[in-house]
Structure 1
Amino acid sequence: MTGRSLDGRVAVVTGGTDGIGLAVARAFAEHGAAVLLSGRSTEKGAQAAAEVGEAARFVRADATRREEAEAVIDHALDAFGRVDVLVNNVGGSAGFARVHELADEAWRHAMTLNLDSAFWATRRVLPSMMERRHGRIINMSSVEGKQATMPAISHYVTAKHALHGFTKAVALEYGRHGVTCNALCPGAVPTGSRPSGDAAAEAAGMTREEFVAHFVDATKTGRLNTADEVAAVALLLAGEAGAGITGALWSVDGGTASW
Structure 2
Amino acid sequence: MSRRVFSKRFSGKVLVVTGAAQGIGKQVALRAVKEGGSVLFVDRADFIAEVAAEAKSDRAAAFSADLETYAGAEAAMRFAADRFGGVDILINNVGGAIRMRPFADFEPDQIDAEIRRSLSPTLYCCHAVLPHLFARGGGTIVNVSSNATRGIHRVPYSAAKGGVNAITQSLAMELGERNIRVVATAPGGTDAPPRRIPRNAAGDTPQEKSWMRDVVEQVKQSSFMKRYATIEEQVAPILFLASDEASYITGSIVPVAGGDLG
In the TM superposition, residue 106 of structure 1 has moved relative to its aligned partner by 1.4
**Closer/same/farther in 2, CA of residues 199 and 233 from structure 1, 3 Å limit:** same
* CA distance 1:181–1:22, shift in 2 (3 Å): same
Task: Count residues with an aligned counterpart.
Answer: 253
1:218 corresponds to 2:219 = no
Judge which range, 16-25 or 210-219, deviates more. Answer: 210-219
In structure 2, distance between residues paired with 1:10 and 1:201: 44
Q: Answer yes or no: is 1:230 the counterpart of 2:231.
A: no
Trace 1:120-159 onto structure 2 (pairs within 5 A): 120-145=124-149, 147=150, 149-151=151-153, 153-159=154-160
Residues of 2 paired with 1:19 and 1:27: CA distance? Answer: 13
Change (3 A) 1:168 1:87: same
Asked if the contact 2:102–2:152 (Cα under 8 Å) also holds between the matched residues in 1, the reply is no
1:202–1:81 Cα change, 3 Å: farther
Point out where structure 1 has 5 or more consecutive residues left out of the alignment: none
Deviation at 1:2, TM superposition (A): 6.1
SS at match of 2:133: helix
Cα distance change on mapping 1:252 and 1:20 into 2, 3 Å: same
Query: Structure 1 length normalisation: TM-score?
Result: 0.90
Given that residues 201 and 211 in structure 1 are in contact (C-alpha distance below 8 angstroms), is that contact kept between their aligned partners in structure 2? Answer: no
Q: TM-score, normalised by structure 2?
A: 0.89
Aligned residue for 2:199, secondary structure, equals: helix
Q: Following the alignment from structure 2 to structure 1, what is the Cα–Cα distance between the partners of residues 206 and 233?
A: 24
Kindly indicate whether residue 210 of structure 2 is the aligned counterpart of residue 205 of structure 1: yes
Contact 2:69–2:124 (CA under 8 A) maintained in structure 1: no
* Counterpart AA for 1:205: S
Task: Report the Cα distance in structure 2 between the residues aligned to 1:136 and 1:200, rounded to whole angstroms.
Answer: 41
Helix, strand or coil at the partner of 1:117 = helix
- What SS class does the counterpart of residue 185 from structure 2 fall into? strand
Identity across the alignment (%): 29
Q: Which residue number in structure 1 is paired with residue 52 of structure 2?
A: 49
Alignment of 1:31-110 (within 5 A): 31-43=35-47, 45-54=48-57, 55-110=59-114
CA offset digits 1:135-181 (Å, max 9, x no partner): 11011111113x2x222x11000000111111111101111111000
* Structure 2: gaps spanning 5 or more residues: none
Please give the per-residue CA displacement for 1:6-55, whole angstroms capped at 9, x wherever unaligned. 11100000111110001111221111101101112222x12311222312
Q: Give the alignment's Cα RMSD to 1 decimal.
A: 2.2
Deviations 1:204-236 (CA, angstroms, capped at 9, x unpaired): 73464x643432232222321112121111111
